[in-house]
């Protein structure tokens, strides 16, 4: 790339028409250009053109050009990048045949040769196969993997299951990779789902490394979990003593709870939704609404919002923005006789109560859906906020809140009971929290007469788990020691004579006063940090792994457990594009190849790569800016309602 100084040097040596002129060209930049004559607008002109370094393949090659060590163009490398672009961004294969794409490519380098759809498919296969080999090597070095899975039906009514592996790599970084996009045969039973998962794990050779599986709450999934757990238990490969084998999707539970809350104000939501649509339909209505808000002293920089009814987060945002403009809605309704969607004071009050409750769920969902950092250690203190707000509503004297929270409370209490031990242990393994977190949380959730027993139950589970890891660590260390210190020499006479005595010494009970890693860790002061300071719990355990070899291994396994199936669900966007009307003939193996390959390429990139669907969602016209007129203010007049209507 040219520097600004180099560009200025070139500009100084060209006349206004872009023609070269006879000036001295002492600058070193001119070594990178040659003088050429080109025909432009019917006349020949002189130009300075950059030297393109490339050379042709031999006549026996099918490729137009090859890589030049001096930094030139390489057709095969270019095709590889295009294949990765198509896979990562979920573009159609026919993209390479688009006229303006090829115009762009040949403009950048005339050596580029157009590629057909069939050729780029073959390139995509080669790219994905290369990525698959890299993935196999990575997974071979991982001790434990957590899975998330979800199912989806294509527009050809074929049901697919996505399987995502979550693990912490050798550099103590959170990783997630889609390892299966499997077509399920009807009748989509628990047996079919479990068989699909086992087959996928077998292909990767990781069937003995699975610690937890995160599925939704469907009855078929429940049966699949039972079958899988029995299979792993039979092979004695059930991690965590089977305590955490099935982790329910936290986001799905919060979604169900949120829907219960929104259902209580369906009438209000309909009025708000239709009212916003009415205002958006004509620009003059929005302008009048904006001026009404301005006169009432309402900040108009906040937009109105229209929701997607199947996504409760957008409904909450619509509700939140409408509450901000509550007085403007009231004022507008009084002056526009065609506005039929005005809420009563009681309805506004109910909407505000629901909005306040759901805000806690929204914050929790955002936190738990992250994939770049562990979330199990954050669950206890964060979910406490959600449980607290539901419980407060459930025991409230407010009739509306009590009725609203009843179904929410039942769902949440059931989920809390299933995850309490896992999340408590994960919180203890965060050096900032340790036992303080469970004492603090449990003390606010349970009566005093239950507190001690509940804390003791969690600590006992933690100790039992630690003993399992400690025993496994000792076995591994002993095996490594034996393999490096084996000797073929026969024992001496004196050694044989002392065998009985040493056997006697070993048989005597020895009181071990040395503290375990767990005891040392728990007795040490909590790690001190500032609330606004970034804290990397994985980095802390990585740096402490020599001091706590057993605990660090346990922490690594627990912190890689995901709380949601968001990653598996997001892969269906790729499946949707891969299985459109133009690709419905692709085999199931090809579909899996391309969906998984796209995920691997996106994950390997150091930048955020958006798929086509993600970009489309961001462009959805859900946000509505509120216009206002400043004319009256520029005339130093205060606008009145007569100015507006």
Residue 518: inside a domain, yes or no? Answer: no
Q: Which residues, in sequence order, are CB contacts of 262 under 8 Å at separation 6+?
A: 269, 312, 315, 316, 354, 358
Are 83 and 222 in the same domain?
no
Residue 331: inside a domain, yes or no? Answer: yes
Q: Which residues, in sequence order, are CB contacts of 298 under 8 Å at separation 6+?
A: 324, 325, 327, 328
Instruction: Assess contact for 75 and 63: CB atoms under 8 A.
Output: yes
Block means of pLDDT (10 residues each) for the chain, 645 residues, are 47 46 49 54 60 39 42 87 92 93 94 94 95 94 92 77 93 93 87 93 93 79 90 84 85 86 92 95 92 92 90 92 96 93 94 92 84 85 85 91 89 81 93 93 88 94 94 84 56 54 64 83 89 85 96 95 72 49 67 89 73 48 79 47 55
Residue 157: inside a domain, yes or no? Answer: yes
Are 148 and 91 in the same domain?
no
Q: Is 41 helix (H, G, I), strand (E, B) or coil?
A: coil
Tell me how far CA of residue 427 lies from CA of 95, 219, 369, 439, in angstroms: 48, 30, 17, 11
Q: Which pLDDT value is given to residue 635?
A: 42
Last residue of a domain, one of 424, 452, 480: 452
Distance CA 230, CA 298 (A): 61
Are 261 and 314 in the same domain?
yes
Are 173 and 271 in the same domain?
no
Residue 643: inside a domain, yes or no? Answer: no
Q: Which pLDDT value is given to residue 600?
A: 93
Q: Which residues, in sequence order, are CB contacts of 202 under 8 Å at separation 6+?
A: none
Q: Is 320 helix (H, G, I), strand (E, B) or coil?
A: helix
pTM, entire model: 0.76
Are 106 and 220 in the same domain?
no
Q: Which pLDDT value is given to residue 642?
A: 53
Residue 547: inside a domain, yes or no? Answer: no
Q: Which pLDDT value is given to residue 521?
A: 97
Are 260 and 242 in the same domain?
no
Distance CA 641, CA 292 (A): 8
Upstream peptide bond of 187 is cis (omega within 30 degrees of 0): yes
Distance CA 56, CA 63 (A): 8
Residue 538: inside a domain, yes or no? Answer: no
Last residue of a domain, one of 94, 128, 162: 128
Are 315 and 385 in the same domain?
yes
Instruction: Assess contact for 233 and 208: CB atoms under 8 A.
Output: no
Last residue of a domain, one of 452, 480, 505: 452
Q: Which pLDDT value is given to residue 285?
A: 93
Residue 530: inside a domain, yes or no? Answer: no
**Count of domains observed in the chain:** 4
Are 101 and 114 in the same domain?
yes
Are 320 and 365 in the same domain?
yes
Calculate ∠ Cα 377-381-386, nearest 5°: 125
Are 270 and 243 in the same domain?
no
Distance CA 291, CA 644 (A): 7
Query: 174: domain CATH number?
Result: 3.30.420
Length of the chain: 645
Q: Is 67 helix (H, G, I), strand (E, B) or coil?
A: coil
Are 297 and 419 in the same domain?
yes
Domain enclosing residue 92, as ranges: 55-128
Residue 642: inside a domain, yes or no? Answer: no
Cβ density class 188-217: b for 16+ within 10 Å, e for less: bebebbbbbbbebbeebebbebbbbbbbbe
Are 231 and 118 in the same domain?
no
């Amino acid at each position: 790339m040219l520097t600004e100084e180099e560009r200025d040097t070139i500009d100084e040596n060209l006349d206004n028409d872009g023609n070269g002129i006879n000036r001295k060209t002492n600058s070193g930049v001119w070594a990178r250009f040659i003088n050429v004559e080109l025909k432009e607008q019917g006349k020949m002109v002189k130009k300075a053109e950059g030297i393109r370094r490339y050379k042709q393949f031999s006549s026996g090659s099918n490729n137009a050009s090859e890589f030049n060590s001096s930094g030139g163009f390489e057709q095969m490398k270019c095709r590889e990048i295009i294949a990765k672009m198509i896979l990562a961004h979920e573009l159609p294969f026919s993209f390479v045949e688009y006229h303006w794409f090829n115009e762009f490519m040949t403009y950048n380098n005339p050596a580029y040769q157009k590629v057909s759809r069939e050729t780029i498919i073959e390139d995509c296969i080669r790219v994905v196969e290369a990525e698959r080999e890299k993935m196999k090597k990575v997974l071979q070095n991982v001790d434990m993997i957590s899975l998330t899975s979800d199912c989806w039906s294509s527009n050809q009514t074929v049901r697919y299951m996505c399987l995502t592996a979550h693990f912490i790599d050798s550099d103590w970084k959170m990783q997630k990779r889609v390892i299966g996009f499997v077509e399920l045969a009807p009748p989509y039973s628990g047996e079919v789902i479990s068989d699909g998962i086992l087959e996928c794990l077998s292909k990767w050779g990781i069937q003995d490394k699975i610690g937890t599986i995160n599925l939704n709450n469907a009855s078929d999934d429940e049966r699949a979990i039972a079958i899988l757990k029995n299979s792993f238990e039979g092979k004695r490969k059930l991690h965590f003593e089977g305590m955490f084998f099935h982790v329910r999707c936290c986001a799905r539970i919060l979604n169900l709870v949120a829907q219960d809350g929104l259902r209580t104000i369906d009438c209000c939501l309909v009025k708000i939704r239709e009212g916003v649509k009415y205002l958006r339909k004509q620009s003059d209505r929005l302008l009048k609404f904006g001026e009404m808000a301005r006169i009432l002293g309402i900040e108009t920089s906040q937009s109105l919002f229209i929701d997607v009814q199947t996504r409760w987060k957008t409904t909450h945002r619509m509700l939140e923005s409408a509450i901000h403009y509550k007085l403007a809605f009231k004022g507008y309704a009084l002056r526009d006789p065609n506005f039929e969607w005005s809420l009563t004071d009681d309805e506004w009050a109910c909407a505000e109560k629901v909005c306040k409750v759901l805000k806690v769920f929204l914050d929790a969902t955002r936190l738990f859906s992250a994939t770049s950092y562990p979330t199990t250690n954050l669950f206890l203190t964060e979910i406490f906020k959600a449980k607290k707000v539901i419980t407060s509503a459930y025991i409230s004297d407010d009739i509306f809140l009590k009725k609203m929270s009843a179904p929410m409370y039942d769902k949440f209490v059931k989920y809390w009971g299933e995850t309490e031990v896992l999340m408590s242990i994960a919180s203890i393994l965060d050096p900032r929290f340790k036992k303080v977190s469970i004492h603090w949380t449990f003390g606010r959730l349970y009566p005093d007469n239950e507190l001690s027993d509940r804390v003791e139950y969690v600590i006992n589970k933690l100790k039992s788990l630690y003993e399992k890891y400690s025993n496994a660590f000792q076995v591994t260390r002993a095996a490594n020691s034996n393999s490096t210190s084996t000797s073929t020499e026969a024992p001496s006479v004196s050694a044989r004579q002392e065998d009985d005595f040493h056997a006697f010494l070993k048989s005597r009970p020895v009181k071990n006063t040395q503290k375990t890693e767990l005891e040392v860790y728990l007795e040490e002061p909590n790690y001190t940090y500032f609330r606004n300071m970034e804290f990397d719990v994985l980095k802390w355990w990585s740096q402490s792994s020599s001091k706590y070899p057993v605990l660090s291994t346990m922490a690594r396994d627990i912190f890689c457990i995901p709380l949601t199936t968001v990653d598996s669900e997001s892969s269906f966007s790729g499946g949707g594009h891969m299985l459109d009307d133009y690709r419905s003939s692709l085999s199931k193996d090809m579909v899996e190849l391309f969906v998984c390959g796209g995920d691997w390429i996106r994950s390997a990139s150091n930048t955020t790569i958006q798929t086509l669907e993600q970009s489309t969602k961001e462009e959805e016209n859900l946000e509505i800016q509120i216009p206002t007129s400043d004319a009256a203010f520029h005339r130093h007049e205060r606008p009145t309602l007569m100015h507006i209507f």
